[in-house]
Structure 1
Amino acid sequence: AAPPPYETQALGPVELVWQAEVASAALRADPAFAERLPAVPKPEPRKKPKRGEVPQPPPPPDPAADAERERREVASVLRKAPARSAASLDALLSEALRGKEPRPPVVLVEGTLSLAFDDARALDLTCRLAQLSAKRHAPLAEALAMAADASEAVASSPSAARNLRGRIERLWREGNRDFEPGFVEEGARRGLLEERAYRKVRVLGERHVVAQLRAGDRSFPAYLPEAVADHLPLQTAFEVRLVARLVPRQDEAEAAPLALAVLAVGRRHSP
């Protein structure tokens, strides 16, 4: 039997965190979402000028009012529309790409959004903090020197950066006599979080923050434009509802056969 296309769980409050400029238009272009949105208000018809009168120009556009209307539309969808089930996404994408006008479908999905830190930056902050104990611990000083020499190489090798970082953290714990046990790990994590130093990759024509959406028993890469990082809460994982374009896999390093190009982020609130 085909998987159910929509989730049925009850919704709680949803905060609109960010939306792309094209989010509202993308929703209106999809019949499943368009029917949930009110009609776009039309300008009042102008009276026909009498003989000898100069026709009045149309009223100027109101960008602020348009932006507020679009914000309300996206927020309404995030709060009220049913979310697609993770199991139904593969068939939905295949069907959309086989259509007469193939285009990525727009979907509403929900789950846990997780963000990973950039490994090279994490190594750099770890080294800076561990340096405070290096003078009295030769093995640590040697590992820090190795990390400094390999800084360019690890920038393109996340696994090498993680291995070096783990070694430095271990050596620091062995030689630490002056600081709290979690000084390096917790200090680096907080610094990365405040910098919003998340892992990024260039896909879909621009640099994106790479998050992971865990929906049920499946996980998908969720690509957010780089500038969105400043709008996200200082958390590495939180419950969300996302409006996104569903696209085929963009990075061979990802296991999932599809990905999400995010158009709007709503954070679910659990009192």
Structure 2
Amino acid sequence: MLLEISNVTKQFGGLIAVNDVSMEVNEGEIVSVIGPNGAGKTTLFNCVTGVYTPERGKILYKKDGVVRDIVGVPAHKIAYLGISRTFQNIRLFKNMTVLENVLVGRHSKLKSKVWEILLTLPAFIKEEKESVRLARNLLDFVGLLNRESEISVNLPYGLQRKLEIARALASEPKILLLDEPAAGMNPSETEELIRLIKKIREMGVTIILIEHDMSLVMKLSEKIIVLDFGQKIAEGSPVEIRNNPRVIEAYLGKEEAEIA
């Protein structure tokens, strides 16, 4: 077990967005969370990453052999512990260059003190050079090294998605959460994304993704969790989910299940 979500409930006033959801993610897995709009998928991600604190439940994370409950831990500390994410709506620093955006993702790993930065001491200079080297390696990994000096907002949409993934990887996560990474992509870009996600898993990163593209979900996932109205209604392999009558009724529909 790398991450265990146990009986997590999150509500906003009278609305229960996530209702008693439990799931387990093992190291090296690709796990997809699917369901209709408003099912609670992004709210669940926000609970895992410290954006929201659930009213009930535990979120257990294992690092270096130690299991801890990260409920209530601030988002920046969760990133430092090794859980990173992208967002459904791209959140790049639009007026920064491609390279600068990735360098921002390194922030949680920097160790230089304020006075070392202000005085431009050798320790800071060394760390800065190493950060640039690692950032360029990540840009090369996602196919953006030749565009490192461009302003990020000028990139085509599909490349902005790749840049956001590179920035999330800059913090050297053990778990990467991808919120609808294929949204707005054409079929060619989606196939590239599938290859990229497989490469990320080969790096030793565990991946949890929210996605509406069922072809991508079925190709990538070892395990699929299905939410509906905040509750988990199914969990299983792609074959099991494709043939689950409750999932077909609530989300896939007969035609979509046959295509998937």
TM-score (norm 2): 0.24
TM-score (norm 1): 0.23
Structure of greater Rg? 1
